């Protein structure tokens, strides 16, 4: 695998729980991580928090979303759905020729336990429409909680990956592995409707059964 330090990952919306958890995992694995936010100051605070958690041994920096996207080799989008389109339009030109990992789930408060997909089919398919053919879009990490990302030891749930090309999915599978997680190639971007929809199901089950970190685990297939 490529030396992690040769790859710079931008986590846009990385001041939220999911984004910060992913940034923590990749910084811990040795990647250079840029946390992005609409406000650079907010991103700098989040980056400092992760830096402290890793005992000052990480390459991590906080920037505004556009600067982070421009400087990164691969971009991860972890914003709430309400900010999805606006953020993509802001960084559209900076993403051309790169891979975007879209972690966004089309949740519509207050009914977050009800699956509500956009006209494009999913948030990831919406990203494809906005960004055009110059960006490879991969959908991943929607079904793993912040609690699992921040926990030590083996993670008891898996990551399903869909995307616009097999090559892009394979690149993201490397990032999943580097984060200490088990990933599965779940096929083309059209399948993202199922992966994103599962999030509302898991939120419902958390509420129904008194948990905070329900997840999914693949069975019947040999571990990749």
Give one DSSP letter per residue of 31-88, joined into a string.
Answer: -EEEEEESSHHHHHHHHHHHHHHTTT---EEEEEHHHHHHH-SEEEE---GGGHHHHH
Give me the pLDDT at residue 82, please: 95
Tell me the per-residue pLDDT of 63-78, one tens digit each, with 9 for 90 and over: 999 999 999 999 999 9
Give me the pLDDT at residue 224, please: 67
Residue 77 · residue 50 · CB < 8 Å: no
At residue 185's C-alpha, the angle toward residues 183 and 188, to 5°, is 140
Average pLDDT over residues 170-196: 96
CA distance 184 to 144: 13
Residue 178 · residue 4 · CB < 8 Å: yes
Q: Is 100 helix (H, G, I), strand (E, B) or coil?
A: strand
CA distance 106 to 196: 7
Q: Is the pLDDT score of 174 beyond 60?
A: yes
152 pLDDT band (50/70/90 cuts)?
A: confident
Residue 120, CA distances (Å) to 14, 116, 192 in order:
25, 12, 11
Give me the pLDDT at residue 1, please: 40
Residue 178 · residue 195 · CB < 8 Å: no
Q: What percent of the chain has pLDDT over 90?
A: 88
Q: Is the pLDDT score of 144 beyond 80?
A: yes
Residue 166 · residue 148 · CB < 8 Å: no
Cis amide prior to 110 (ω within 30 degrees)? yes
CA distance 199 to 215: 9
Tell me the per-residue pLDDT of 56-115, one tens digit each, with 9 for 90 and over: 989 999 999 999 999 999 999 999 999 999 999 999 999 999 999 999 999 989 999 999
Residue 174 · residue 73 · CB < 8 Å: no
Residue 141 · residue 202 · CB < 8 Å: no
Fold (CATH) for 4-209? Rossmann fold (3.40.50)
Domain residue extents for the chain: 4-209
């Amino acid at each position: 695998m490529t030396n992690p330090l040769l790859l710079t990952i931008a986590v846009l919306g990385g001041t939220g729980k999911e984004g910060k958890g992913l940034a923590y995992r990749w910084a811990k694995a040795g990647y250079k991580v840029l946390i992005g936010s609409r406000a650079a100051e907010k991103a700098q605070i989040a980056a400092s928090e992760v830096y402290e958690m890793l005992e000052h041994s990480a390459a991590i920096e906080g920037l505004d979303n556009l600067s982070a996207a421009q400087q990164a080799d691969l971009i991860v989008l972890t914003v709430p759905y309400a900010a999805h389109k606006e953020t993509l339009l802001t960084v559209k030109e900076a993403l051309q020729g790169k891979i975007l990992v879209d972690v966004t789930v089309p949740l519509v408060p207050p009914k977050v336990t009800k699956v509500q997909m956009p006209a494009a089919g999913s948030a990831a398919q919406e990203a494809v429409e906005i960004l055009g053919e110059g960006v490879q879009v991969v959908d991943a990490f929607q079904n793993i909680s912040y609690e699992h990302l921040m926990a030590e030891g083996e993670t008891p749930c898996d990551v399903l990956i869909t995307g616009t090309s097999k090559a892009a999915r394979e690149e993201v599978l490397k990032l999943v592995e580097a984060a200490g997680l088990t990933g599965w190639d779940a096929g083309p971007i059209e399948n993202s409707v199922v992966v994103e929809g599962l999030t509302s199901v898991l939120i419902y089950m958390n509420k129904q059964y008194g948990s905070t970190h329900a997840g999914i685990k693949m069975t019947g297939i040999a571990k990749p």
